[in-house]
Homo-oligomer: A and B are copies of this chain.
Amino acid sequence: RVDGKRLWDSLMEMAQIGATEKGGVCRLALTELDGQGRDLFVRWCEEAGCSITVDGIGNIFARRPGRNAALDPIVTGSHLDSQPTGGKFDGTYGVLAGLEVIRTLNDVGYETEAPIEVAVWTNEEGSRFAPATFGSGAFVGDFDLAACLETQDVDGKTVREELERIGYRGPEPVGQHPIGAYFEAHIEQGPILEAEGKTIGVVTGGQGQRWYEVTVTGQEAHAGPTPMARRRNALVGAARMVELVNRIGFDFQPDACATVGMLLNRPNSRNVIPGQVWFTVDLRHPEEERLARMGTALREGCREIAAAAQLELEIEEIWTLPPMPFDAACVDAVERGATAAGYPYRRMVSGAGHDALYVSKVAPTGMIFVPCEDGISHNEIENATPADLEAGCNVLLAAMLERADA
C-alpha cells in the first residue's frame, strides 16, 4: 500500500511551481516554470534511485530496474504542464502517483520482474502549443516530429527553441522507448464518480475528438458613422458561430460536447467594427460516426452564417483523435486492483484526451480515474481528496505489479 501522505505532500510541493493566487497552477508547457517542475521531478526520481532518459520531444522516462533487464518496462505517467488557469492535480497526479509507486516499492525493497518506469509527456494540455497530447502523439508517430518541433505559440516561439531553452531536448530518438504496458492515473475531470459515490473509474477508452480553427473575415470600419446596413461585422458572425457550436453540443446528446475555447478579435478597439475573428472549436463524441456528423453540422452551419452576413470563412480541421478503446486485459487489471482493495468503482469512457490514448496505439494500456470536486478541472479551484488520490495510487500499484511480475 502506498503512502498517501507522502503522495499528497509531493503534490503540494509541485503545486508551488507556478502557483496562482486562487490556489491553482499556471505552468504552461515548456516555459521556465515547466522546466522547474521537470527538474524537481527528475531530482525526486534520482533520489529514489531511478535513471533518467529524455527523448527529442522532451518526454522524460525515469526507470526503476527490474530483475529481468530484457523485459520491456511497465510504464505509468502523465504530464506536468497545466492550463493557463489550471489545477494542482490534472496530470501532476499521474506523474507523482507513479513516483509514489516507486517509492513504495523502495520502502519494502520489492524487486519487480520487469522494470518500472514513470513517464512525463510533453505538452499534454495543448493550450500553449496545439494540439493536445503532443509528446505522446509524436511518440507513437501520429504527429510528425519535425512539424511538432516547429510548432509555434502565439508569440512565435517554437517547441524546439523552448525545449532547448529549458534543457529538455533529449538525445533519445522519439518513439524508440520500449513500453511493455502502460497505466495512467488521473482525476476524472467530470462529475460522474462523485455523483455516484464511486472512488475509482475503470477507464475503458477515450471518446473521439476533433479540433478546428475558424477565421471569419469582414471589414473593419468606424463604429460611429458606418450605417448598420453597410457593415460586415466579423464578430457578429463569429458570435452566431459560437451559438451554433453550443447548439451542436446539445443536438447530439447524449454524450456530445462542443466548445469554442479560444477567440481572438481584431483589431479589438472599442470604436472599430471588428474586421476579423479567429476562434477554435473542440468537438467530442464517443462514436466516430456521430462525431463526423457534428463536424459536418459545424461546417455547414458556419458556411450559412458567413454567407448570410457577407463574411469570408476559413475552417481548418487541425486535429482529430478517433474514439480509442483500451486493452481488455489492462482494463481488467485495473478493475481487479479496485476490487481487491474494496474500492467502489465503475467502468467509464474518458471525456478528456490523455497521453494514454496515444500510448494505447503501441502498448496495452489502461487508466484509473479518481473523483474531483464538482467534476471541475481546467480551473484553479480544481480539487480532489487525499483519500481518493491515495486509492487511485493503490490501484495503480496493484495493476503495475500484476503486469510487471506476470
A373-390 contacts to B (CB < 8 Å) = 375-380
For A207, A220, A351, A353, the residue with the greatest tally of chain B CB atoms inside 10 Å of its CB is A220
Q: Give Cα distance in the complex from A219 to B170, angstroms.
A: 38
Partner of A272, one of B209, B240, B261: B261
Chain B residues with CB below 8 A from A310, complex form = none
CB-CB under 8 A for A351 and B224, given A239-B242, A269-B127: yes
Contact stretch, chosen from A46-54, A184-192, A330-338: A184-192
Cβ of A175 under 8 Å from chain B: no
Q: Which residue of B lies closest to A266 (CB)?
A: B85
Segment at the B interface, from A5-13, A112-120, A230-238, A392-400: A230-238
A262–B269 contact, CB under 8 A? yes
Flag the segment in A56-64, A98-106, A140-148, A246-254 that touches B. A246-254
Q: Are A268 and B262 in contact (CB under 8 A)?
A: yes
A35-43, A274-282, A287-295: which one contacts chain B? A274-282
**Min CB–CB distance A331 → chain B (angstroms):** 18
> Which of B132, B256, B271 is in CB contact (< 8 Å) with A259?
B271
**Chain B residues with CB under 8 A of A259:** 223, 233, 271, 273
Roughly how many angstroms separate A131 CA and B230 CA in the complex, as a whole number?
25
Q: How far apart are A226's CB and chain B's nearest CB, in angstroms?
A: 6
- Distance in angstroms from A396 CB to nearest chain B CB is 20
A-B pairs with the 9 shortest C-beta distances? A225-B351, A190-B225, A239-B242, A223-B259, A239-B239, A127-B269, A224-B352, A220-B379, A224-B351
29 residue pairs A–B, Cβ–Cβ below 8 Å: A83-B272, A125-B269, A188-B225, A191-B226, A191-B230, A220-B378, A221-B379, A222-B378, A224-B257, A224-B282, A224-B284, A224-B352, A225-B352, A225-B377, A226-B257, A228-B246, A228-B258, A233-B246, A235-B242, A239-B242, A239-B243, A243-B243, A259-B271, A260-B274, A261-B273, A263-B265, A270-B280, A270-B282, A271-B352
